């Protein structure tokens, strides 16, 4: 059955938004940096928030807001993953959850493995938890990226106490295989380490790739793992604070239950309301439309780069709306984004912030209208032509 792609909102309406994407640069700049999308909210989310405003439902988040049941149903429906609702807690956002779990499973000065190039807040989050970053970059075989299991094992054998996993991976869009996640789980179990898995991009996996929740990858994964996720990325709810922390075994659940009550109080009521509406079955049709739009855009970007920036290197991401593009062949320096913003008037995310592996790279947000994506790449293409001249 064909799915009608979701249509992005018009630019004149988007520029009325007051979020980071639309208030960081002047109106002559096309903003494609931060992970906000340009689509209307799922109707169920709009209705739920409208009703809350209408009746003044703007108080504190209740002790049992129901998101545990909603997420468990969503996980079963979307991924065939059976989650015990009693092993789900909630907090303000994914990085808040990651920090609190890392604090609970590490001691000050412990080393935590990250796998660059990776979402920049991972580095800050490890440090905020009092731990030390241990870099084990993804393996790039020229066709796809994968976890460096041998490198991770070396780090764990040398005393690293945790792995901070990005599953699916940001910025490459890699969907890690069940086999690699299971192998990671076995390594963590062998060395007595924990795995904290950021799974915020999980709803946005493009066929034929298949998302594997880390906790479901192997029996060992449930024993060593913690998943932290939210509807905020897929459903564009970053300003409405809510995320869930999921465990799969009694030992890890006990750790999460031992976190301060303040961890749950950080979830905003509007965030809970919006996340619950996103996880509801009535929002599935909207999500399918979004996936169709993003699939078209990730393929359109490949065509546009071939036409206007033929020396750029880009692989279709397995998941998400973020494209990782190597433009180092154009000689725009280690960090091309500032020059592109200044001269082409297109704001992209700075590659080196994701790690040294990001030198010469930019991250492009394709969660927009096709015509906006086309205009942005054409502008950058003109810049490349002008600089050749």
In a shared domain, residues 250 and 351: no
Same domain, 92 and 224: yes
Q: What pLDDT score does 385 carry?
A: 87
**5 within some domain:** no
Q: Do 163 and 235 lie in a common domain?
A: yes
Q: How far apart are CA 280 and CA 262, in angstroms?
A: 26
Query: For residue 274, what pLDDT band results from cuts at 50, 70 and 90?
Result: very high
pLDDT per residue as tens digits for the range 159-192: 999 999 999 999 999 999 999 999 999 999 999 9
* 159: alpha, beta or left? (left if phi > 0; alpha if psi -120 to 50): left
Q: Which domain-ending residue is among 267, 282, 297?
A: 282
Q: Tens digit of pLDDT for each residue in 303-362?
A: 999 999 999 999 999 999 999 999 999 999 999 999 999 999 999 999 999 999 999 999
In which element (H, E) is residue 134 found?
A: strand 132-135
Same structural domain, 334 and 230: no
Same domain, 348 and 221: no
Show which of 247, 282, 317 is a domain's final residue: 282
Residue 1: the pLDDT is 67
Task: Enter the pTM of the model.
Answer: 0.96
Bridge partner list, 314: 325
Same domain, 152 and 229: yes
Tell me whether strands 346-350 and 30-32 are parallel, antiparallel or unpaired: parallel
Quick one: 49 and 36 in the same domain?
Answer: no
240 and 131 co-located in one domain = yes
Q: Could you report the per-residue pLDDT of 18-39, keeping only the tens digit for each?
A: 999 999 999 999 999 999 999 9
Contacts of 310 (CB under 8 A, 6+ apart): none
**Termini Cα distance of the chain:** 49
Element (H, E) at 90: strand 88-91
Domain of residue 53 covers 45-282
* CA quadruple 241, 110, 168, 173: dihedral sign: positive
Last residue of a domain, one of 282, 301, 318: 282
**Is 2 part of a structural domain of the chain?**
no
- How much is the pLDDT for 389? 42
Question: 2 pLDDT band (50/70/90 cuts)?
Answer: confident
In whole angstroms, give the CA distance from residue 173 to residue 204: 10
Write down the mean pLDDT value for the chain: 97
The answer on pLDDT for 388 being more than 60 is: no
Number of structural domains the chain divides into: 2
What is the DSSP secondary structure assignment for residue 319, as one 8-state letter? B
- pLDDT, tens only, 194-220: 999 999 999 999 999 999 999 999 999
Residue 27 in 3-state DSSP?
A: coil
Evaluate whether residue 178 is within a structural domain.
Answer: yes
Q: Each residue of 285-315: pLDDT tens digit?
A: 999 999 999 999 999 999 999 999 999 999 9
In this structure, are 27 and 77 located in the same domain? Answer: no
Q: Which of 342, 101, 100 is nearest to 215 (CA)?
A: 101
290 in any annotated domain: yes
Say yes or no: 186 and 93 in one domain. Answer: yes
The CATH code of the domain that includes 78 is 3.40.640.10
Same domain, 296 and 178: no
Contact 136, 153 (CB under 8 A): no
Is there a single domain that holds both residue 35 and residue 80?
Answer: no
Strands (E), 224-265: 225-229, 243-246
Alpha helices in 55-168 (DSSP H): 67-79, 94-105, 121-128, 149-157
Return the CATH number at 345: 3.90.1150.10
């Amino acid at each position: 059955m064909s799915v009608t792609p979701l249509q992005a909102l018009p630019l004149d309406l988007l520029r009325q938004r007051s979020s980071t994407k639309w208030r960081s640069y002047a109106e002559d700049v096309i903003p494609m940096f931060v992970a906000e999308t340009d689509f209307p909210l799922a109707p169920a989310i709009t209705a739920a928030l409208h009703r809350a405003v209408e009746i003044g439902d703007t108080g504190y988040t209740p002790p049992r807001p129901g998101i545990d049941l909603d997420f468990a149903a969503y996980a079963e429906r979307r991924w065939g993953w059976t989650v015990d609702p009693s092993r789900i807690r909630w907090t303000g956002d994914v990085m808040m959850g990651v920090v609190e779990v890392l604090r609970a499973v590490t001691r000050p000065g412990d080393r935590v493995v990250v796998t660059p190039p990776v979402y920049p807040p991972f580095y800050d989050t490890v440090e905020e938890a009092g731990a030390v970053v241990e870099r084990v970059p993804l393996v790039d075989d020229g066709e796809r990226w994968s976890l460096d299991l041998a490198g991770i094992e070396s780090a764990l054998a040398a005393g690293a106490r945790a792995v901070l996993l990005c599953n699916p991976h940001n910025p490459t869009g890699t969907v890690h295989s069940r086999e690699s996640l299971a192998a990671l789980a076995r390594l963590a179990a062998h060395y007595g380490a924990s795995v904290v898995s950021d799974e915020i991009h999980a709803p946005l996996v493009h066929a034929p790739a298949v998302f594997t929740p880390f906790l479901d990858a192997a029996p060992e994964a449930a024993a060593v793992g913690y998943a932290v996720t939210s509807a905020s990325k897929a459903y564009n709810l970053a300003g409405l604070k809510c995320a869930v922390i999921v465990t799969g075994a009694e030992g890890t659940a006990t750790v999460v239950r031992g976190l301060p009550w303040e961890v749950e109080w950080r979830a905003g009521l509007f965030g809970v309301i919006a996340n619950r509406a996103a996880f509801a079955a009535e929002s599935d049709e909207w999500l399918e439309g979004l996936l169709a739009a993003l699939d078209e855009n990730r393929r359109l970007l490949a065509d546009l780069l071939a036409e206007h920036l033929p020396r750029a290197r880009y692989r279709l991401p397995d998941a998400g709306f973020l494209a990782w593009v190597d433009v180092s062949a154009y000689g725009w320096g280690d960090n091309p984004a500032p020059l592109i913003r200044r001269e082409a008037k297109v704001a992209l995310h700075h590659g080196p912030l994701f790690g040294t592996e990001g030198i010469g790279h930019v991250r492009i947000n394709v969660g927009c209208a096709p015509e906006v994506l086309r205009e942005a790449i054409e502008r950058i293409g003109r810049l490349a032509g002008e600089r050749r001249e």
